[in-house]
Amino acid sequence: MSAESSLARAKAPHPRIAVLGIGAIEQHGPHLPVGTDWMVISALSQRVAEALGVWLLPAIPFSMSECHGPLAGTVWLKPASLAAALQDIAASLYAQKINQLLILNGHGGNFILEPAIKSIRARFPTMTIAMPPEPWPERDELGLIFEQAGTDLHAGEIETSLMLFLYPSLVQEECINYVPPVGREFLDYTTIEKICPQGVWGHASLGLAEKGERAMAAEVKAVVSFARKAFRRRK
Amino acid 69: pLDDT = 85
Task: With CA atoms as reference, report the closest residue to 192 among 62, 69, 61.
Answer: 69
Amino acid 8: pLDDT = 43
Amino acid 197: pLDDT = 92
Whole-prediction pTM value? 0.91
Task: Give 182's contacts (C-beta < 8 A, 6+ positions apart).
Answer: 195
Amino acid 150: pLDDT = 86
H/E stretch holding 87: helix 79-95
DSSP state letter for 16: S
What is the Cα–Cα distance from 6 to 186, expressed in whole angstroms? 40
Amino acid 9: pLDDT = 46
Amino acid 232: pLDDT = 85
Residue 30, beta-bridge partner list:
28
Per-position pLDDT tens, the chain of length 235: 454 545 444 444 457 899 999 999 999 999 999 999 999 999 999 999 999 999 999 999 999 999 998 888 999 999 999 999 999 999 999 999 999 999 999 998 999 999 999 999 999 999 999 999 877 898 899 999 999 988 999 999 999 999 999 999 999 988 899 999 998 888 888 999 999 999 999 999 999 999 999 999 999 999 999 999 999 865 5
Amino acid 213: pLDDT = 98
Q: What domains lie within the chain, and their CATH numbers?
A: 3-233 (3.40.50.10310)
Pair 31, 173: CB distance under 8 Å: yes
